[in-house]
Chain A
């Protein structure tokens, strides 16, 4: 027997009151846990996925949409840009590296991204099996994509037109899996990577693309391709570009460019040059993401306020519960004093009860928070939500125990003082 056991016995003797107080506090702390997890993981993921990308160039439109679609692959692209214009930018003395991206298709909602091998280096990927694409229609699957699609090396599949599910299939050309990546925790995990040529050739198929969705220049390239075939060279068997832009005589398009600056001056000059001197737009991932976090911050602050209000209400409820239970137990306290308990021990007992309640609330709160997030991730249809791992435990969650401790101490202060003041003789004379 010790004071902790005694405090626990007192708490478990009133299971309903104890349970309700713990749950009330747990709800408040669960919201804080969810906010911590979501905010931290989004920020980390956003920073990680944008590392090494100084500027994104694409068709004019919303700069945030351009970043979300090109860096994080969670929004629709703003449109396509002419390859000549893109190549002109890549030749600028302000540019160190350009990675072109071509989008337009998906497989079961996973994006098929046409790019070159620099994109793999950008994210420092490692291969779990196979190798990168070398010819048109060869693909490398991100780890999650491979798992979701249930594909392995050598398997084939058809893509669907558009960025999201529900469009018609491109069944003229099957993609062939030549590589599968190791999980990296980055955006590549959920992509199907291939060459830009694959994206072009998919849409070149006669009768495949609807007139309003065909990439500009398709008609010319179809003619060109037919010409090559007439010469006995199948362009589908030619090696694709591993670096830079693919070579094409036709008027081709890409969707966006991921750019790395050559020097700090580029950060000032290049975006201005593109935005004012071309039909394209340039957007900085760092700037757009800080703007996004600022916008989300309002909602997060509201939720934090709600959570805080719940925690304060829970603290008040614990105070009332402790105070009332102490009023009922005044005689118990007097008995404890006659058995040898000091005033300090009674104070400790009250604090232990208050703190035990709040620590329990913190444990349940953290568990509820993770469980709730797991449910959201399991059932949410938005791709962006699936980026969150509900079972990551952050060091910041230790702070929740800190909050709980503070609430427990504050809620116990007055009851503890009341216990300290208990007059044994007066109490024992009352009955």
Chain B
């Protein structure tokens, strides 16, 4: 298995504990985490990304227990092996499209990923030198997907990637994520409350409110 999440539990100070279902994914597989607001979807995603430390249980990615990594080793592992797509693109506005991708490569210390091919595949090859501020919302979201994929991660996490998009673009983004994840052999976890994308992914996990 590429990704395993077992007995994960977490609690914010002064709030009831959250418990998350076990699941595992192989290379190229995808799972949809559905749930209403407050069900802990984003917390689950943060635990999978190693951004939060679980109170119990563990996340194992390609044989590495995330909670065993500390400090910069965890940061570097995340940069090299986990790609995250956010609800909003959140690109670095001071940089061009190409520079945003180069920054991801620099911070992860991973060389060699061809951003030209990636942008070509995402249909935004002509935007490489464009300033981020000049992109449409759809283009910016594709650039954020490119940034998540540039280091050929083993795990792609997408947090509400379609919530602000219309039906057509929502389907397109999910299709892009699935296609690219399959292409590079990464596990894909999509966290959403958007019921429109339910039919797009075969494996669905529904989180209950605490």
Contact = CB atoms under 8 A, between A and B. Distances in A.
A99 to B, nearest CB: 68
Interface in A400-431: 424-425, 428-429, 431
Best-buried of A1, A337, A343 by chain B (most CB within 10 Å): A1
Nearest to B131: A13
Contact of B107 (A13, A336, A344, A425): A336
A425 B87 CA distance: 14
Given A13-B94, A331-B90, A340 B46 contact: no
A6 interface: yes
B52 interface: yes
A364 interface: no
A428 B107 contact: no
A338 interface: yes
Leading 4 A-B pairs by shortest Cβ distance: A340-B79, A13-B94, A1-B102, A340-B107
B71 A342 contact: yes
B93 A340 contact: no
B contact face: mostly helix, strand, loop, or mixed: helix
Interface in B70-93: 71-72, 75-76, 78-80, 82, 84, 86-88, 90, 92-93
A152 to B, nearest CB: 61
A97 interface: no
A332 B132 CA distance: 13
B115 to A, nearest CB: 11
A344 B104 contact: no
23 contacts: A1-B105, A2-B106, A6-B92, A10-B94, A12-B94, A332-B90, A332-B92, A336-B92, A336-B103, A336-B107, A337-B75, A338-B49, A338-B51, A339-B104, A340-B79, A340-B108, A340-B109, A342-B71, A342-B72, A425-B51, A428-B42, A429-B42, A431-B86
B18 interface: no
Interface in B152-177: 159
Contacts, number: 76
Nearest to A345: B107
A336 B103 CA distance: 9
Interface residues of B, number: 33
Interface of A: 1-2, 6, 9-10, 12-13, 331-332, 335-345, 424-425, 428-429, 431
B60 interface: no
A345 B72 CA distance: 10
Contacts of A424: 51
A340 B102 CA distance: 13
